[in-house]
Amino acid sequence: MRRFSWYAFLTDEVAGMAYDRLGEDTGAEGVKLPYHQQVLKLGSDEELTLFGYCRASCKTFAFYLVTLITLGIPFLIVYWKPEWGVYMKRRRCSLMEADMLIIKDMDGQIYVSSVDSEMVEAGFPSKYVISSHLPNGASNGVHNGASDSTHLTQPRHRIIRYFIFQHIKYMWIPGKLSFERLYGCDSNTTISSLLNDFRGYTVEEQMLRQQLYGRNGISVEVKSYFHLLVTEVLNPFYIFQIASIVLWSFDNYVLYATCIFLVSCLSVAVSLYETRKQSQSLHDMVEASNANTATVLRSTIEKTTVEVEINTTDLVPGDVLVIPGTGCLMACDAVLISGNAIVNESMLTGESVPVTKTPVTISEGNETYSAEKHKRHTLFCGTAVIQTRYYGNAQVLAVVVRTGFTTAKGELVRSILYPRPLDFKFYKDSMKFILFMFGIASVGMSYSIYIYIIHKETILKTVVRTLDIVTIVVPPALPAAMTVGTYYAQSRLKKRGIFCISPPRINVSGKLKLVCFDKTGTLTEDGLEVWGVVEAKGEHLSTPVMDVSTLDHTSQLVACLATCHSLTYVHGELTGDPLDVKMFEATKWTLEEAAPGSANFDQVTPTVVKPSKREVYIDPPDITNVAETPFQVPYELGIVRQFPFSSNTQRMSVLVRVLGRPYMDLYAKGAPEVIQSLCRPESLPEDLGPILTQYTIQGFRVIALAHRTLETKLSWHAAQRIPRDQVECDLNFVGLLILQNMLKPETAPVIRQLRAANIRTVMVTGDNILTGISVARDCGMVGETDHVLLAKVTAPSPEHPASLTFEPADTPDILVQYSDDVDNKYTCMNVEDGAPKYHLAVTGKAWALLCQYFPDLVPRIVAKGTVFARMSPDQKAQLVEELQAIDYIVGMCGDGANDCGALKTAHVGISLSEAEASVAAPFTSHTDNIQCVPQVICEGRCALTTNFSVFKYMALYSIIQFVSVLILYTAYSNLTDPQFLYIDLFIVTVIAVFMGYTGARHELVAHKPLGNLLGAVNMFSVLSQIALVILTQVIAYLYLLQQPWFEPNKPTPGDEEDNTVSWETGTIFYVSAFQYLTLCIAYSPGHPFRQPIYTNFWLTVSLVSLTVITLMMLLCPWSWLMELMRIRYDPENNLMMFRVALLLMIALHFVVSLSTEHFIARSRFLKKCFQWITCKREPKNKYKIVLRDMNEDLSWPPIGTPLYATLHT
């Protein structure tokens, strides 16, 4: 690979172009951007801002000179902040000249990427090619004074420029003078092109495209231990630790420095092992679903195609794959253009039920391929093709549309490798608190310098002791201590079968205010039971029939139930969508495929269904030139083609031919409102609406069925190409299929538990809205006396703007009339105290119109909405975003592919799946019910409380030692080496490790843990304890000074070592050691979020052991123990009265500290006092403001009176 100077190349390229960006670029919406800047995909999740830089020789020389002089410090800074290295060594330039980019994503994170270049051969897509005469990138012609004959004598070189960011390639487009993301055939490729233009590349074409797209592969690098070691050691935490160890060694704390060094080495070893283990685990997971070889079509010189087996790494977008009949593992994303495939997509969707993929067809003129829209025709990378189906001698072919990290599987892996930063206040506040600690350190450093100047100490000793203050006030273990609670919570969740791939989300789950639930498979059972069918008889619907098999076998309703599905046999077992399985089994028919064990079926013998109990014969159609003898043929239905179900169309249909008939029939099933829109009005029964409402309001799932007889001229092959829109029209309504979907037994108790904890619950489903309301009532989302209003939105017409109307879904007694005067009347909900609560229910169609025409009312809708029905996957994710926009901390719980977008969008996504697709959600529960939701919340609350407690403890540990050291500096002394070791290693480290081991309480309470580390309550807790610590140590020190036997410490003049074995040191050590233990108990809260402290066995044993050992040192001054700890003692007088007095001070501090923390700091009274002092009157959360405004608005919600959009569209 070579790098070039791009300014000269592009000067040649754009010399004749009209260039209107003299110094500036025009961004989106006409915004002027600096000449060195470009914004990609503005407003999307992939938004990137690029800043161009090129080499500056003088700045580079200066950087390396300063690095040499300062022993590599700038290099270390640049390692931590790569963008600073770009600023220091390079200059701004236009993007066409840049060889280095600074990239800023939509979350504000900064990255650095180099711009690379390659030479390409003729035939490479010209869109990306820059041509120049000189291969070394130097300017030519007028730019360097060379002869103009250069243009004639030198060949032109073809060059491409690109950069790779997070495994995605971005190409330079010379015609636009900008970078663009490189897409495969999944962008701006029409369906007709996929069907007609792709017949296989030649070897040369494939090589050129591989140079453009790179090798096809998803690999996770497992770095060597040496590489990980260097990365770990250069971490700021360990650099600070190394500097601290060097500093302690200079101060003659060799024993302490050695122990800390050994502990740090152990920490590095454990960290390297865990990092390598996680990396290897992800690598193995990715490699397990990688394929090795694939068969593709290759064009030859003779314009024919041959099958060639190649390595899957050589696949490129546009290759035509031959899918084997025995199945395969997909190594790329490919769209089917012929034949059917049965695929296990559990890796992506979490659903183990095989899915039938059908060839893509043109539904409209210039329809463009979309992986999301056409997912029923797309084979995704990592999924397993179980077997294929094809007609005659045709092959099952698929066009490769995406490779590598651009595939669906690649996106999942990228979401793990590059997770979006978590915008949680705790982490921001912790950084501010550390800065606050640095501020305290600066005060201590100033005091230290003053003391040592007064004492006339040497400069070296003054500098060492002053810097030592920094290592005391900002403990290196603070960042690690912040994650202790999260680590233990993650371990406890894992034991319960709940796996977390994003540990910071555990803390967020402790602040959840709202949880969205999918319905089918999440709140209700996966399986549906057929309750009965209702057949259309003329202008009315007949009475329901419970046993479908008793109906006439030749009726259109039974034929629809028997054929309108995508069932198939896999390893001898009938598999497919659970709804389809139940529906087909209810008919008691038989499904036959070509031959047992065969993977193909030809055009004569498609999949056949027929009655299984007895042979049914029908009269054949009138056929000429046959014998006069009457005869009959078996009643068998062949499924010629399937139009698969999708969440966008909310329907599926099949083309069927009855044996012996010259024409085909179309059978369709789907959402009642969708099927009604496709039926002829005269075929719809008059009582359809009331009966449909009757069943849906009882919680039944209702599927509408329809039929159409197609024209005789539709041939078999034409049926394989006909767009579904041409046949899915002018249908005749056949009847209704009624299915019963029972609540899971765990659902209602969990919903009650969440509501009791003041956590709002919302249902987001693709089912009928009345069914959703019924289930919401059954599970407790909607109270028994609560009312539900349907939000109905009408699209604008030439005469009227869009309108919004609220209508009661239950009884009309909820209305109350308000009237100001004759001309101003409105009807609204009674929202007075004591009146029943109300909930809003919204359909997906109404939601789309609301967002388009009533965006100002969307916050009100989502603040009171409880049931959102007929929602597409994109709308589910959009709803989560709208809830987040009004400051809800949102959880999402779902089990299928339709929920993946919402699971990733929510603050806390919980997938009820054992599949690999769960990497799209932070949490995965291997239990198939929603009991995992309160478990995650309980552990989140526990982890958040624990992290706050450990953080405050570590902060107080620093302050205690800080105060101790400053007092001893005043007395010409300091803690001894063994004392530092005992405090830091045996007390603080042990306590910090075990504090987080306390388990979570399993009951949810109505109030939530504090989430603001710098909030008034937490700051009061910290500052009050600091005051008590300082007061206790100062009183103990002053009490020591009053003792008649006390001899002040006086260091030897000129001696560089302090006399640390002194009365002052021993007194401060005793008091401070007990303060560490006291604060551990004070900062180990139990109820309401954690278990009591005594349930933490290891912490309790540690506290008891350390208390006994410290008491022994205080009350039993044995000579060997005093000499070991280097504490001054009088062998002739144990000074018991003084020691008892110290113990009383320690006990008093214990009582006051615990009382302050338990009865004041954690009281609601204190919180209300702070709110009163700060004059807090307005709620800070937007959703609370929205709810307040609705309660104060007497005209909201208007019932029966339409609201019109302000803009007439």
Please give the backbone phi and psi of residue 346, each rounded to the nearest 5 degrees, phi first: -60, -25
Question: Taking the CB of residue 1128, how many other CB atoms lie within 10 A of it?
Answer: 18
Q: In this structure, are residues 964 and 1067 in contact, taking their beta carbons and an 8 Å threshold?
A: no
Which residues, including other chains, have CB under 8 Å from residue 856's CB and lie 6 or more apart? none
Between CA 744 and CA 827 the distance in angstroms is: 39
For residue 289, the number of C-alpha atoms closer than 13 Å in the C-beta half-sphere is 27
Torsion of CA 1053, 1055, 1060, 1061, to 10 degrees: -80
Which residues, in sequence order, are CB contacts of 28 under 8 Å at separation 6+?
Answer: 39, 42, 43
DSSP single-letter state for residue 912: -
User: Rounded to whole angstroms, how far apart are CA atoms 657 and 684?
Assistant: 25
Buried b (16+ CB within 10 A) or exposed e, 197-207: ebebbeeebbe
Positive or negative torsion for Cα 304, 306, 310, 312: positive
Which residues are designated catalytic?
Answer: 518
Q: Is 235 helix (H, G, I), strand (E, B) or coil?
A: coil
CA distances 761 to 518, 637, 843, 884, 902, Å, are 11, 46, 17, 14, 15
User: Could you say which DSSP state residue 519 is in?
Assistant: T
The count of other CB atoms within 10 Å of the CB of residue 697 is 16
CA dihedral 189, 195, 200, 202 (to 10 degrees): -50
Nearest to 796 by CA among 1199, 1196, 1202, 1200: 1202
H-type helices in 154-253, by residue range? 191-196, 203-213, 225-233, 236-250
* Contact in structure between 954 and 477 (CB atoms under 8 Å): yes
Residue found by looking up tokens 């454990």 in the block: 270
Strands (E), 90-154: 90-92, 100-105, 110-114, 116-119, 130-132
Q: How far apart are CA 970 and CA 448, in angstroms?
A: 9
User: What spatial distance separates the first Cα and last Cα of the chain, rounded to whole Å?
Assistant: 56
Q: What letter would DSSP give residue 520?
A: B
Alpha helices per DSSP H over 780-908: 844-853, 858-864, 873-885, 900-905
Strand partners, 804: 793, 1203
C-alpha closest to that of 1051 among 1131, 1144, 973: 973
3-state helix, strand, coil in the chain (%, to 5): 45, 20, 35
Residue the block writes with tokens 């290693």: 985
HSE-CB at 959 with a 13 A cutoff on CA atoms is 26
Rounded-to-integer distance, Cα 922 and Cα 502, Å: 5
The DSSP code for 368 is: B
Distance in angstroms (rounded) separating the CA atoms of residues 1128 and 821: 92
The residue type of 363 is: S
- Tokens for 217? 């592969």
Q: Which residues pair with 806 in a beta bridge?
A: 791, 1199
